[in-house]
Structure 1
Amino acid sequence: MPVATSSRRLRRQDTDDIEDATATQVRDEEVDDVEAASQPRRTKGAKRDKKARQELEDEGDEGGNDNGQHVDNPLADFADQPIDKQQAGRISGLSQDWAQIRGLHNSSYSLVQDIGSALAEFTEGEKAEKNLAEIDKMMRSLIDTENELRAHEDTLTDLYQQVIRGEAVPEVISRYDSGVGTRQKDYGKKTSRQKYAKHEDYANFRQGIYEIQHPDEAMPPVADFIPAEEGDDSDDDDDVQVGGVTQDYRCPLTLKLLEDPLTSSVCNHSFDASAIREFLKNDRTARQKCPNAGCHKIISLNDLKPNKELAKKAKEAARRERMREEEDSEDDENVIE
């Protein structure tokens, strides 16, 4: 076998070097092509970043320039548009929402009245006075909250009436805020007697406590439980004073404590359901003079409505009456012994 000479080995080595160099050059060119292809994308991204930064700088400079000039907001030229009749229903709906919230809130009065009556019955001395003062403060706070809810309701009702009458009502939000604020401010100017003395639920609250502490006695006017303040002297003497009567839980017909009372919407007198139905011969068309002594109103079955609150009070009155009778019986036994 012929042996390669040194010159042939050199030529073969040179050829191999050329092939390696060519392969390396191809790989380098491919890398350069990839880098060249990706280079424009980096350039575009950089341009976008630069543009975004410029926009932020422009926004930061908005509203003024190097000369201190202010750039007006074009939206400021658009005033609030008046409410028209097509939108009046929304205002009425909002007013009804506030009325519903107020109704839920007012359900708390009955609970506080029950707590006050329980404290009056089962606590004594200084502790009783302190607890009753706290529950009285809670009752007044509920009335204040009711007034705030009513301020929103009444303001929306007034706005609704204005729109229905065809009056222009621009800037409705400002008018709403102003109306609520005015009503709350007027309420805040009232004295405690003006706020609470004529409130029906507060009167019932005081009545329940007084009946327990002073059974069979007429409760004085509610105003007597509220210290006078500056401004109370200007009250009209002709104003009706709540109080001064004894709550009677007996039916005028049966002379027994009410069990299932029906109250007349005409004269506000209450009767045992079975007794008044028999009196009116269970005829809804029948109309008779109220059987309560001294009342001359004409009533019918259609005027009589169930009174759950009165039924509860009558039941409590019956329980207290039984307790007093038992105590009197025990006292008599002790005297005999």
Structure 2
Amino acid sequence: MNNHTLRESFEALGISDLVLTPGASFRYLSGLSLHASERLTLLFVNIDGEKSALLPALEAESAKSADFLHLETYRDEEGPLRALQALTQKMGFSSETILGYEAQMIRMFEYQALAGFAGKSFLAADDVLASIRLIKGEDELEKIRRAAQIVDGALVRSLPLFKSGMTELEVAAELEYQMRKLGSEGTPFATIACAGPRGALPHGGPSMSVIKRGDLVVLDYGAMIDGYAADTTRTVSFGVPSEEALSVYEVVKKAQAAAVQIVRPGITAQEVDRAAREVIRGAGLGVYFTHRTGHGLGLDVHEFPSVMEGNELILRPGMVFTVEPGVYLSGKFGVRIEDDVCVTETGVEVLTQFTRELCVID
């Protein structure tokens, strides 16, 4: 964490302290991987980058690895409020304290506890956190690269095991099993394996639907290394696909390649989106491309930058995001191809390398 950048961000927003609940930003700033639960768990970061925390007593051992200025713990039977009051007193909070918080993460019971002990003024600081995490360091990039190698390897291992007659759930389970065997610590989101008409659901989950010969199957899945995610999509065909499916697949493949090829420092995020969308619109399929072209990737599988129209953020080296155009024909099939890319000093590094050619499973 760059304390100079942190101070500038705090001053620009008008806050003196930041409060975080468990999640990616909590982990990024503390080094602790804790899960949101019914137990109040809070991380405070002041303008000098000093960290304090309120933790359940059962997490005290984990806290030994963190460098906290102040730490208060509490046991289940006593509850967190006494410890929270003691902590905020140590940090010098008053009714004049203005706390920045992560609006997309904080829950009502956490907000209410803070309002009772840590001042009455709160400001959303999501943009501050996004800017701090936006540029990935080399250690972060290496973890994402390793996760990307796992998602590639899992599909290589799984494809020979796929066959018509399997359910979507069986296909998803095989991918997840192979990722575990290759070293993934889990999945950053629920694996998608949607066949035939269900492939037209961009975020459809796997079901007990049986995959038939001729079905296109959208496989969207991810791996994690030390909390950092890779996220990839490939569309495969179980048996020979229709001419229409082949035609749409080629359009999406060209759109994805056009977007990847344009990535470099100095262009805007929306220009990447436009490169993909221009190809799909040119084929008369623009209305069937219903989402942004990509999203940032890191400790969260969806973080900044959003690769979409209207985002004039200028790309810089160290930014990592997905490029994943898709076409979804309701009642027929869907096609999506997704790679993870990193902006370099001179262009782009494509982190996921599995072929973009259509794989046909006998």
Instruction: Calculate the TM-score normalised by the size of structure 1.
Output: 0.24
Instruction: Calculate the TM-score normalised by the size of structure 2.
Output: 0.23
Higher RCO (CA-CA < 8 Å; seq separation 6+): 2
More helix by share: 1
More strand by share: 2
